[in-house]
């Protein structure tokens, strides 16, 4: 679903902006600290309702302003649809064609056909960081693939919060009544993640060997549930039974600690190379290539399953990768038929890869100004 125009109001350091992105590459150029990543963050919010890097939504509101707003016009099969997200003191509100969305069925319509994948310098945390980084990736990727995951994940979080409160404050039989909804929602989430990994694993292995050469060690993704739960090849029903068993087994410990110690909120994802964990054993370059391969796998999978590539957001990629991997990534991405928004401090780094129809914007102090297209030699 193509993005035709984008407007921001009081979002981060942007007071007011309107951009008309290219059907292919849009490049944001400017020195450090001017608002390039802020614009990607606005786009990510518009496509996923999630902040890209902010830990609190309130960070997205321009200093001194009351509310932030991002709005986009998307070309859809039935005509143009206007999607907007506002962040105010009351939290986040989403709008589709001017109408507030509250119920979950409307939310599915909101997300229909819109997925976004972002490459950023922080991606290396997927390998180097804690399990929360990997769970975040899994949930975002699952949500890109199946928008219903947004509601399912919320249900799980609610059930988790309620059970944790019961662990701390209620009698044993009261706590028990909170387990069933937690187990149901938890098994659903784990099943989604497993289904996603089944789709992504072979694609990642393939992408990794393309980036690193056929002799490179094979790359693998594996789900690592907390509390020693066995979920390989299990159905959602079986996962639920096992999770219920684990919670029953651990209830005394959980009551003592005051939180639930098994379930998808504790699980991890293992990225490995040649059978060894990439975190303890992979080199810096291998780790980067692995993350890149994982993202390419996600893009390829979305393209295949949804019938079109997701919106790609590339933050400062060229500064992060060695020229060879950078070349590989940009070649791969420029061959995709979808839209991409890229940021750079040095326009020359991206000019060769931006391709035909690329649109350039200069970014200064939160102001976006359309720039001249590059001169393509020989045209």
Ligand X SMILES: Nc1ncnc2c1ncn2[C@@H]1O[C@H](COP(=O)(O)OP(=O)(O)OP(=O)(O)O)[C@@H](O)[C@H]1O
Binding stretches for Mg ion (CB under 5 A): 37
Beta carbon nearer to ligand X, 13 or 362: 13
Q: Considering the rule CB under 6 A, would residue 362 count as an interface residue with ligand X?
A: no
Q: Considering the rule CB under 6 A, would residue 73 count as an interface residue with ligand X?
A: no
239 binding partner (options Mg ion, ligand X, none; Cβ < 5 to 8 Å by kind): none
Q: Considering the rule CB under 6 A, would residue 328 count as an interface residue with ligand X?
A: no
> CB under 6 A: which stretch of 35-43, 168-176, 301-309, 349-357 binds ligand X?
35-43
Which of 22, 25, 26, 37 contacts ligand X by CB under 6 A?
37
Each residue 206-235 as x (binds ligand X by CB under 6 A) or -, in order, gives ------------------------------
* Cβ atoms 7, 18 nearer than 8 A: yes
19 binding partner (options Mg ion, ligand X, none; Cβ < 5 to 8 Å by kind): none
Beta carbon nearer to Mg ion, 44 or 110: 44
First to last CA, the chain: 30
32 binding partner (options ligand X, Mg ion, none; Cβ < 5 to 8 Å by kind): ligand X
> CB under 6 A: which stretch of 29-37, 139-147, 177-185, 234-242 binds ligand X?
29-37
Which of 22, 25, 26, 34 contacts ligand X by CB under 6 A?
34
SS3 sequence of the chain: CEEEEEEEEEECCEEEEEECCCCCEEEEECCCCCCHHHHHHHHHHHHHCCCCCCCCHHHHECCCCCCEEEEEEEEECCEEEEEEEEEECCEEEEEECCEEECCHHHHHHHHCCCCEEEECHHHHHHHHCCHHHHHHHHHHHHHHHCCCHHHHHHHHHHHHHHHHHHHHHCCHHHHHHCHHHHHHHHHHHHHHHHHHHHHHHHHHHHHHHHHHCCCCCCEEEEEECHHHCCCCCCCHHHHHHHHHHHHHHCHHHHHHHCCCCCCCCCCEEEEEECCEEHHHHCCHHHHHHHHHHHHHHHHHHHHHHHCCCCEEEEECHHHHCCHHHHHHHHHHHHCCCCCEEEEECCHHHHHHHHCCCCEEEEEECCEEEEECCCCCCCC
Which of 22, 26, 36, 272 contacts ligand X by CB under 6 A?
36
Q: What does the block give as tokens for 81?
A: 């649809």
How many beta carbons lie within 10 A of that of residue 71, not counting itself?
18
Least distance in angstroms from the C-beta of 13 to ligand X: 3
Beta carbon nearer to ligand X, 33 or 357: 33
Which of 18, 20, 33, 304 contacts ligand X by CB under 6 A?
33
Beta carbon nearer to ligand X, 11 or 74: 11
Q: Considering the rule CB under 6 A, would residue 13 count as an interface residue with ligand X?
A: yes
277 binding partner (options ligand X, Mg ion, none; Cβ < 5 to 8 Å by kind): none
Which of 3, 29, 35, 194 contacts ligand X by CB under 6 A?
35
151 binding partner (options Mg ion, ligand X, none; Cβ < 5 to 8 Å by kind): none
Least distance in angstroms from the C-beta of 2 to ligand X: 24
Q: Considering the rule CB under 6 A, would residue 318 count as an interface residue with ligand X?
A: no
Q: Which residues of the chain form contacts with ligand X (CB under 6 A)?
A: 12-13, 30, 32-38, 59, 61-63, 316, 345, 363
């Amino acid at each position: 679903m193509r993005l035709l125009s984008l407007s921001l109001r009081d979002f981060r350091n942007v007071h007011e902006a309107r951009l008309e992105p290219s059907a292919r590459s849009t490049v944001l150029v400017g020195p450090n600290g001017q608002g390039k990543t802020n614009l990607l963050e606005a786009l990510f919010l518009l496509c996923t309702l999630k902040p890209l890097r902010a830990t609190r939504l309130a960070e997205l509101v321009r200093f001194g302003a009351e509310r932030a707003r991002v709005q986009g016009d998307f070309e859809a099969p039935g005509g143009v649809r206007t999607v907007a997200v506002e962040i105010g003191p009351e939290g986040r509100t989403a709008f589709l064609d001017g109408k507030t969305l509250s119920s979950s069925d409307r939310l599915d319509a909101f997300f229909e056909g819109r997925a976004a994948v972002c490459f950023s310098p922080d991606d290396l945390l997927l390998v180097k960081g804690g399990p929360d980084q990997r769970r975040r990736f899994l949930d975002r990727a699952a949500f890109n693939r199946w928008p219903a995951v947004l509601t399912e994940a919320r249900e799980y979080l609610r059930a988790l919060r309620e059970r944790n409160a019961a662990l701390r404050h209620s009698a044993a039989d009261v706590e028990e009544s909170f387990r069933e909804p937690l187990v149901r929602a938890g098994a659903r989430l784990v099943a989604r993640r497993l289904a996603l990994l089944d789709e992504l694993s072979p694609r990642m292995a393939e992408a990794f060997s393309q980036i690193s050469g056929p002799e490179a060690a094979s790359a693998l993704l594996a789900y690592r549930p907390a509390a020693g739960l066995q979920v390989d090849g299990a159905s959602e029903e079986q996962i639920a039974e096992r999770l219920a068993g684990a919670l029953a087994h651990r209830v005394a410990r959980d009551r003592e600690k005051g939180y639930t110690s098994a379930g998808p909120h504790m699980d991890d994802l293992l990225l490995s190379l040649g059978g060894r964990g990439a975190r303890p054993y992979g080199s810096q370059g291998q780790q980067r290539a692995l993350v890149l391969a994982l993202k390419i796998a996600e893009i390829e999978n979305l393209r295949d399953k949804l019938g079109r590539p997701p919106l790609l957001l590339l933050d400062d990629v060229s500064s992060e990768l060695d020229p060879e991997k950078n070349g590989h990534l940009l070649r791969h991405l420029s061959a995709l038929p979808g839209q991409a928004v890229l940021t750079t401090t040095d326009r020359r780094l991206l000019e060769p890869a931006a391709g035909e129809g690329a649109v350039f914007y200069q970014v200064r102090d939160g102001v976006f100004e359309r720039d001249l297209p590059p001169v393509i030699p020989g045209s």
